[in-house]
């Protein structure tokens, strides 16, 4: 098989020991060629290497095949293209040699590099790395010159797996046709694209665009070509990457940390590709930058620790990335507080998790976002070494810096977590507008699935149910010695710490639902009311068009979402009314109950002032049974569940997937079906006659929650997630 693989380079390198490889000095015109083949034979574009990168070599091979030893009369001649650092691989890091190439090309027309996954669609991905207007204009030119390629171009824009680097093996007949097509597009684009004022990196635009155009060409012609992929191997780092690492190491050795940071920022601004995986093969540069940022603000004894303990910047950066700083230097976890909603529950979560993290040995700092200096403190995080930032249903992560181009938290080099207690459909704003390295913590497994399907800006979502709060006066004591000491004589039969909202006669119009969605809203409500076990998204999907896209569905869901609250409140009302009608002693808390229309009609209904924190748990500890009606969390575990059991009270709750799978009805809690409220009421009435039986359930629930549903256990779980969230 006649074959040559041309290795494009602008620096001297060690050529693989096989005669199929031919080094080509690109941009050779007026330069030293190192004894390699040049790219300035006859018809050439060598002087445009600063714009076309390796394509100047490709053009010369196409136009002047004789100069490269390619037989013009052999259409099956194999022409290979690779880089001085990147080659096709035989596996195990071995560079492809002739026997492997011959087997690989047997019956094949084109081989590309193995496709890699990218975090978003190609159009978005390109725009994050380069000016997106280049790609858009390229598409316009292509569609003018080759209208039949328009569909393929648009499809490639949505790719989430791409081949990179212009590494190919092609039969000469394919190579010639491809080059004719490619350079016609690029030369036409060159006439329209103004590159004045660009840095060296973004001037290489035609090289970048050619990688995308290769995928377009192959997609359009896939039925006529036999195409396969092959892995690539890297034999060295990019010269610019090596040079930067050496310079940073030198400045680090001299203690010139600020100068090192300035150099890093400037090089990355001009050549962001030094950070690419294909350039920084061991991922060391971000680790170096992380340590340099830390050292720039460290105390003298902290600087001495790293300078004296490790041999140079590389060793110090690797240790810092793996182990962090020693205890005296440990970066803090930042926790945002200040959002006072629903009996201060979010601040309670923040304090509970924060103190538990401290008990695990973590440094924790709180920032109250309601205080006047909050903005200054948040902005200062960008200059500090931070382990993580945690907010609780916080909109702070969605704030921009000066313009709509950069989120404030994009500047914070740490994973960001937002704890979401509500259903994600209610939190679209903080799910759509969010910084990089942004994660969601939630208590419901179905919410995680929803987030992953509909909110692609969120990097990942993790299950972290809220914990319960034990009372200080009973801490460390058993059930019978502490909260359960006098269970049978507790003065309250049933307690409910939830709010009341009277949605019984509300219409879609009163919820502010647009007229065109009101009929759909009513059908949506009716279906959930009839089948309360249905997930809202499943219910809505069953009554909207089957052809609706995810983004369209999300938009519709946002329009009709008030009906989820309406049906949740309706079932809450039904449960409470059934208990009251049965004459069961029932205690509620907070000003919302002043709006309960029948508050004066039941002697067994007792209204109390709002309670929060430990006071709420103390009220729970006065009751035999604590009612919980999930606010349509179909796989949820809420703080009321944990607090009720921690207070030594029998939890009475409607079922969720989480509760059904982890707890035993009648042993650790009482679980009921929303479609059988009557059975629940009968059961409660009978159990209240036998307090000793309730005490046994309360004790089992207390033991379970005290060992598994504490903030200490949640903190350990969070730290395990944190290990999975590199920045």
Residues 479, 686: Cα–Cα separation, whole Å: 23
Q: For 270-297, how does the pLDDT look when each residue is reduced to its tens digit (9 = 90+)?
A: 788 788 776 777 789 999 999 999 888 8
Task: Give the C-alpha separation, 65 to 44, whole Å.
Answer: 12
State the alpha helices, DSSP H only, in 10-89. Answer: 49-52, 55-63
Q: What is the pLDDT of residues 86-145, one digit of tens each?
A: 899 998 778 999 999 999 999 999 999 998 888 889 999 888 888 999 999 999 999 999
Q: How far apart are CA 440 and CA 431, in angstroms?
A: 8
Pairing state between β 586-589 and 492-496? parallel
pLDDT of amino acid 270:
79
Reported in sequence order, the residue ranges of 20-85 that DSSP labels E, i.e. its strands, are 21-25, 37-38, 78-83
pLDDT of amino acid 50: 93
239-253 vs 257-270: helix axis angle to the nearest 10?
A: 170
DSSP string, 451-487: HHHH-TTS-EEEE--------GGGTT--TTTTTTTTG
Beta-carbon count within 10 A of 308 CB = 7
Share of residues in the chain with pLDDT > 70 (%): 98
H-only helix segments in 410-549 = 428-432, 445-454, 518-530, 536-541
Residue 441's pLDDT is 97
What distance in Å separates the CA atoms of residue 521 and residue 515, rounded to the nearest whole number? 10
What's the pLDDT tens digit per position in 351-384? 999 999 999 999 899 999 999 888 888 988 887 8
Token pair 């997609």: residue:
219
| Cβ partners under 8 Å of residue 260, min gap 6 | 247, 248, 251, 252, 292
Residue 314 has pLDDT above 80, yes or no: yes
Q: In this structure, what token pair is assigned to residue 564?
A: 């989820």
Residue-level pLDDT at 329: 59
pLDDT (0 to 100) of residue 342: 61
Distance separating alpha carbons of residues 716 and 164, to the nearest angstrom: 40
> Poorest-confidence range of 232-241, 491-500, 513-522?
232-241
3-state SS, one letter per residue, for 98-116 = HHHHHHHCCCCCEEEECCE
Residues 6+ apart with CB under 8 A from 580: 586, 598, 602, 604, 605
H/E segment holding residue 184: helix 172-192
Tokens of 656: 């969720």
Residues contacting residue 418 through CB under 8 Å, at least 6 positions apart:
390, 391, 392, 393, 394, 397, 430, 434, 438, 439, 440, 441
Helix (H) or strand (E) holding 439: strand 438-442
pLDDT at residue 327 tops 60: no
* Cβ 447 vs Cβ 420: under 8 Å: yes
Q: What is the mean pLDDT of residues 629-646?
A: 93
Let me know: does 422 contact 345? Beta carbons within 8 Å: no
Looking at residue 238, its pLDDT comes to: 73
d(CA 380, CA 391): 17
Band the pLDDT of 240: cuts 50, 70, 90: confident
Predicted pLDDT at 199:
81
Q: Please say if the pLDDT value at position 402 is more than 80.
A: no
Would you say how long the chain is, in residues? 727
Residues 65-76: b if buried by 16+ CB within 10 A, e if exposed: bebbebeeeeee
Q: Which pLDDT band holds residue 562 (cuts at 50, 70, 90)? A: very high
Q: With the CA atoms of 237, 242, 248 and 249 taken in that order, what torsion angle do they form, in degrees rounded to the nearest 10?
A: 90
pLDDT at residue 404 greater than cutoff 70: no
Q: What is the DSSP letter of 238?
A: -
Terminal alpha carbon distance of the chain? 47
Beta bridge partners of 653: 628, 671
Predicted local distance difference test score (pLDDT) of residue 727: 67
- pLDDT tens digits for range 644-654: 999 999 999 99
Helix (H, G, I), strand (E, B) or coil at 665: strand
CA distance 543 to 181: 48
With 70 as the cut, is the pLDDT of residue 534 above it?
A: yes
Cβ atoms 666, 697 nearer than 8 A: yes
Confidence of residue 28 (pLDDT cuts 50, 70, 90): very high
Query: 418's torsion region: left (phi>0), alpha (psi -120 to 50) or beta?
Result: beta
**253-258 long-range CB contacts below 8 Å, 24 or more apart?**
253/312, 253/313, 255/303, 255/307, 257/292, 257/295, 257/296, 258/296
CA angle 169, 172, 177 (to 5 degrees): 100
Q: Who's near 448: CB < 8 A, 6+ residues apart?
A: 440, 442, 461, 462, 463
- Looking at residue 399, its pLDDT comes to 87
Instruction: Round the average pLDDT of the chain to a whole number and report it.
Output: 91
Give mean pLDDT, residues 549-564: 94
Q: Is the pLDDT of residue 328 over 80?
A: no
């Amino acid at each position: 098989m006649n074959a040559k693989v041309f290795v494009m380079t602008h620096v001297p390198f060690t050529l693989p020991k096989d005669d199929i490889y031919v080094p080509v000095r690109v941009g050779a015109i007026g330069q030293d060629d190192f004894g390699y083949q040049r790219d300035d034979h006859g018809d050439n574009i060598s002087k445009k290497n600063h714009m076309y990168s390796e394509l100047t070599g490709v053009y010369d091979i196409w136009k002047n095949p004789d100069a490269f030893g390619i037989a013009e009369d052999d259409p099956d001649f194999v022409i290979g293209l690779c880089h001085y650092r990147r080659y096709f691989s035989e596996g195990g890091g071995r560079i492809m040699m002739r026997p492997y190439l011959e087997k690989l090309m047997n019956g094949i027309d084109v081989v590309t590099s193995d496709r890699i996954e990218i975090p978003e669609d190609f159009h978005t991905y390109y725009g994050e790395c380069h000016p997106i207007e280049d790609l858009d204009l390229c598409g316009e030119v292509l569609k003018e010159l080759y209208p039949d390629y328009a569909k393929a171009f648009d499809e490639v824009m949505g790719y989430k797996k791409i081949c990179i680097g212009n590494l190919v093996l092609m039969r000469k007949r394919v190579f010639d046709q491809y080059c004719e097509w490619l350079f016609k597009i690029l030369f036409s684009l060159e006439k329209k694209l103004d590159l004045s004022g660009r840095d060296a990196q973004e001037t290489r635009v035609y090289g970048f665009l050619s990688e995308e155009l290769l995928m377009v060409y192959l997609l359009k012609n896939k039925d006529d070509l036999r195409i396969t992929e092959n892995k690539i191997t890297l034999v060295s780092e990019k010269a610019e990457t090596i040079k930067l690492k050496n310079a940073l190491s030198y400045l680090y050795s001299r203690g010139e940390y600020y100068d090192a940071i300035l150099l890093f920022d400037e090089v990355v601004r001009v050549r962001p590709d030094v950070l690419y995986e294909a350039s920084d093969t061991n991922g060391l540069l971000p680790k170096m930058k992380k340590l340099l940022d830390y050292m720039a603000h460290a105390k003298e004894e902290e600087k001495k620790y790293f300078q004296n303990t490790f041999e140079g910047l590389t060793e110090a950066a690797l240790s810092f990335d793996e182990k962090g700083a020693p205890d005296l230097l440990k970066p803090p976890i930042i926790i945002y507080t200040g959002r006072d909603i629903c009996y201060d529950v979010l601040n309670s979560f923040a304090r509970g998790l924060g103190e538990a993290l401290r008990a695990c040995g973590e440094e924790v700092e709180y920032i109250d976002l309601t205080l006047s200096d909050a903005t200054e403190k948040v902005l200062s995080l960008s200059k500090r070494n931070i382990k993580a930032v945690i907010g609780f249903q916080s909109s702070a992560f969605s704030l921009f810096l000066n313009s709509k181009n950069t989120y404030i938290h994009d500047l914070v080099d740490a994973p960001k977590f937002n704890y979401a207690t509500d259903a994600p459909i209610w939190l679209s704003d903080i799910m759509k507008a969010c910084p990089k390295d942004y994660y969601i913590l939630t208590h419901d497994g179905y919410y995680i699935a929803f987030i992953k399907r509909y909110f692609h800006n969120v990097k990942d979502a993790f299950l972290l149910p809220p914990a319960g709060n034990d009372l200080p006066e009973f801490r460390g004591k058993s059930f019978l010695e502490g909260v359960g000491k006098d269970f049978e004589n507790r003065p309250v039969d049933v307690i409910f710490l939830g709010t009341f909202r009277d949605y019984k006669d509300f219409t879609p119009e009163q919820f502010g639902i647009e007229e065109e969605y009101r009929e759909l809203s009513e059908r949506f409500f009716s279906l959930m009311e009839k089948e309360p076990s249905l997930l809202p998204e499943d219910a809505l999907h069953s009554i909207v068009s089957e052809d609706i896209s995810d983004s369209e569905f999300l938009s519709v869901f946002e329009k009709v979402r008030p009906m989820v609250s309406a049906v949740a409140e309706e079932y809450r009302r039904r449960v409470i009314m059934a208990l009251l009608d049965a004459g069961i002693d029932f205690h509620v808390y907070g000003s919302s109950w002043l709006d309960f229309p029948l508050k004066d009609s039941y002697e067994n209904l007792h209204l109390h002032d709002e309670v929060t924190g430990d006071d709420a748990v103390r009220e729970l500890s006065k009751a035999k049974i604590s009612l919980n009606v999930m606010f349509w969390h179909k796989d949820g575990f809420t703080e009321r569940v944990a607090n009720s059991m921690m207070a030594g009270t029998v939890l009475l709750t409607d079922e969720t997937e989480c509760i059904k799978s982890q707890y035993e009805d009648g042993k650790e809690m009482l679980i009921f079906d929303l479609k059988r409220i009557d059975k629940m009421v009968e059961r409660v009435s009978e159990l209240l006659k036998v307090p000793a039986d309730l005490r046994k359930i309360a004790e089992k629930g207390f033991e379970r929650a005290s060992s598994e549903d504490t903030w200490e256990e949640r903190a350990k779980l969070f730290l395990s997630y944190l290990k999975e969230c590199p920045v």
